[in-house]
């Protein structure tokens, strides 16, 4: 009996079909007992005994950190936004050529006097500004690095882009690949507001690298 390897894959969004495609290419057929909506799948062949958990891309990172999973396909942005304690337990094994996007700071298109972070600093000098994001850690580090003061970072749990239109916040930091959602919400990016370029990546729990089967599977999945 082969040892079971647990892999986390995004349950929805753009990452899911491309992640599944990797398995298909490697002739690893995923069987789901309850059909397409099943959140658990299996791959069983003579080489591997794999259990696949379809979870939120963010939860995939947590699963690696607490060893609920051995391997995950998730966004690099989510890994870098997690705490140092989580990051040090995970190895970024290979960058994958999909899920490309950027984490950027956006402002209202009507803020015609604000084009850069320097403008943000100047505006915030008179009255502190609020910035809403799902990426608190990355954003706070970025603002500190660029010496932007008086900007309070708020946590967002839902549709971040709308926060500016409803005056909940003055700025937004979010992942964007085409910029269409931002534009549809009257937002545009700051000239120097690029925080991080991201893509999907194959990640592994460092402790799982001790398992022969995991290493073998990683080699197979990362072969182009």
Partner 1 sequence: MKSEKLYQKITKLIQKQGFKELKLDRVIETKYIRDENLKKYLFTFRDEKANKTYALRPDLSLMSLIQFSKSKNTNKSKISYSGESYRKNKTTNSQIGWEIYNSNNQSDEYEVIKNSIEVYKKITKKKGYLRIGNLELFSSVVNQLQLPTRWKQRIVDQMYDKKYFYEILKRLETNKDLDESKIKIDKKLYNKMKKLDQDKIIANRTVKDILSRFETKVYKQPRPSDGKRSVQIIKRFLKLKCPIEKAPKLLSDFFKKNKLNIKISNDYFSIRKNKVGNLRIEYNSSEIPDVEIYSGLYFSISNQKFIKIISGGAFNKLSSSLGLRPINAVGAAIHLS
Sheet holding 171-176: strands in order across?
151-155, 129-133, 171-176, 101-108, 187-198
The interface region with partner 1, picked from 43-51, 74-82, 94-102, 104-112 by CB under 8 A, is 104-112
Could you say whether residue 39 binds partner 1 (CB under 8 A)? Answer: no
Backbone angles phi, psi at 94, to 5 degrees: -155, 135
- Binding partner 1 by CB under 8 A: which of 18, 98, 111, 213? 111
- Binding partner 1 by CB under 8 A: which of 83, 167, 178, 224? 167
The interface region with partner 1, picked from 12-20, 95-103, 116-124, 200-208 by CB under 8 A, is 116-124
**DSSP code for 34:** T
Q: Given CA atoms 181, 184, 187, 193 in this order, what sign does their dihedral have?
A: positive
**Contact pattern from residue 168 through residue 197 relative to partner 1, giving x for each residue in contact according to CB under 8 A and a dash for the rest:** -xxx-------------------x------
Q: What is the residue whose two structure tokens read 């789901």?
A: 32
Could you say whether residue 140 binds partner 1 (CB under 8 A)? Answer: yes
Burial 99-118 (b: 16+ CB within 10 A, else e): bebbbbbbbbeebeebbebe
CB 131, min distance to partner 1, A: 11
Give the C-alpha separation, 198 to 74, whole Å: 10
Name which of 72 and 114 has its Cβ closer to partner 1.
Answer: 114
Q: Using CB under 8 A as the criterion, which residues of the chain lie in contact with partner 1 when the complex forms?
A: 107-113, 115-116, 118-119, 121-123, 125, 127, 129-130, 140-141, 143-144, 146-149, 164, 167, 169-171, 191
């Amino acid at each position: 009996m082969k040892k079971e390897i647990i892999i986390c894959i995004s349950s929805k969004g753009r990452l899911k079909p491309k992640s599944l495609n990797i398995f298909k290419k490697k002739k690893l057929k995923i069987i789901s007992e309850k059909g397409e909506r099943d959140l658990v799948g299996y791959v069983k062949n003579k080489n591997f005994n794999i259990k696949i958990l379809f979870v939120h891309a963010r939860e995939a990172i947590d699963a690696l950190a607490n060893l609920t999973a051995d391997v995950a396909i998730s966004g690099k942005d989510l890994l870098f936004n997690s705490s140092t304690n989580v990051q040090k337990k995970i190895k970024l094994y290979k960058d994958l050529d999909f899920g490309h996007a950027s984490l950027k700071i956006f402002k209202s298109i009507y803020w015609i006097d604000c084009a850069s972070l320097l403008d943000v600093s100047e505006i915030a000098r008179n009255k502190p500004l609020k910035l809403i994001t799902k990426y608190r850690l990355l954003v706070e580090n970025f603002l500190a690095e660029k010496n932007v003061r008086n900007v309070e970072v708020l946590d967002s749990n839902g549709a971040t882009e709308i926060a500016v239109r409803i005056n909940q916040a003055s700025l937004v930091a979010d992942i964007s690949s085409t910029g269409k959602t931002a534009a549809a919400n009257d937002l545009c990016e700051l000239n120097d507001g690029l925080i991080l370029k991201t893509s999907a990546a194959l990640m592994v729990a460092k402790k799982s690298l001790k398992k022969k089967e995991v290493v073998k599977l990683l080699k197979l999945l990362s072969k182009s």
